[in-house]
């Protein structure tokens, strides 16, 4: 069950999830936002943030807990077939929890600038910050249907890379890249405000990047 192992390992290693213990198992809980729902206005309105966090992210958390309970029950009975059948639900809901837990911390009203170390890496791998933003924006806008655009770190090549993932597929278990900054292009992330003009949303989100958080993720990824 490689997917089950890889997602569980990602949960443990990255500590992006706010878990509490019930009996012998960890339960996932919805993390608090590090700011108020209106903190990212006018780029992302309060209504979107509240719905996105309290409804969409909360649903991923609840469904993930249900899925893990079913997997635990199946494996405890030696029912590998049922555990395998639950892998798509684990990937979708676990990915949704991972992705959003990163996304919230990636954003801030006054996010500053990339650290000197991160800026050097961006220039080495893309030529300039502006070029990286252009490439990531283009890749993200081009995602068909729902998904994510990512700036990630490749530990094998020791360089930054741009990638996209469909639906809620988590970046690291899917591509091997360590996530640094993600752009959510599910319609629930922007439609109430930007309607069907995804490019305007992607362009605007660069105004609220929490570069301190992205820089910290980069420093940790290199360790």
* C-alpha distances in Å from residue 55, one per residue of 48, 49, 179: 10, 10, 24
Instruction: List all residues 6 or more positions away from 46 whose beta carbon is below 8 Å from its beta carbon.
Output: 36, 37, 38
pTM for the complete prediction? 0.89
Residues that constitute the known binding site: 52, 100, 184, 188
Annotated binding site for Mn(2+): which residue ranges?
52, 100, 184, 188
Asked whether the predicted pLDDT for residue 17 surpasses 50, the reply is no
In the chain the domains, ranked by start, together with CATH numbers, are 2-105 (1.10.287.990), 116-221 (3.55.40.20)
* Cis bond upstream, residue 19 (ω within 30): no
Say if residue 220's pLDDT is above 90.
yes
- Number of helices followed by number of strands (H, E) in the chain: 11, 5
pLDDT for residue 156 is more than 60: yes
Do you know the residue count of the chain?
223
Q: 164-217: per-residue pLDDT in tens? A: 999 999 999 999 999 999 999 999 999 999 999 999 999 999 999 999 999 999
Instruction: Give the pLDDT confidence of 32-44 residue by residue, as tens digits.
Output: 999 999 999 999 9
Question: What pLDDT, in 10s, does the model give residues 33-84?
Answer: 999 999 999 999 999 999 999 999 999 999 999 999 999 999 999 999 999 9
């Amino acid at each position: 069950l490689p997917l089950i192992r890889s997602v569980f390992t990602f949960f443990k290693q990255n500590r992006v999830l706010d878990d509490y213990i019930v009996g012998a198992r960890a339960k996932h809980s919805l993390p608090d936002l590090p700011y108020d729902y209106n903190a990212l206005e006018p780029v992302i309105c309060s209504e979107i943030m509240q719905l996105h966090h309290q409804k969409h992210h909360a649903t991923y958390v609840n469904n993930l807990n249900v899925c893990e309970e079913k997997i635990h029950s199946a494996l405890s009975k030696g029912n590998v077939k049922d555990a395998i059948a639950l892998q798509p639900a684990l990937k979708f809901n676990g990915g949704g929890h991972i992705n959003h837990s990163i996304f919230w911390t990636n954003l801030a009203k006054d996010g500053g600038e990339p650290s000197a170390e991160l800026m050097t890496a961006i220039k080495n791998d893309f030529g300039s910050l502006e070029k990286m933003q252009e490439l990531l924006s283009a890749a993200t806008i081009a995602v068909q249907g729902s998904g994510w655009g990512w700036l990630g770190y490749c530990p094998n090549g020791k360089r930054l890379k741009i990638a996209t993932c469909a639906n809620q597929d988590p970046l690291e278990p899917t591509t091997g890249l360590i996530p640094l900054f993600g752009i959510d292009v599910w319609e629930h992330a922007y439609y109430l405000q930007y309607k069907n003009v995804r490019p305007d949303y992607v362009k605007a989100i660069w105004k609220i990047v929490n570069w301190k958080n992205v820089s910290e993720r980069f420093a940790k990824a290199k360790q």
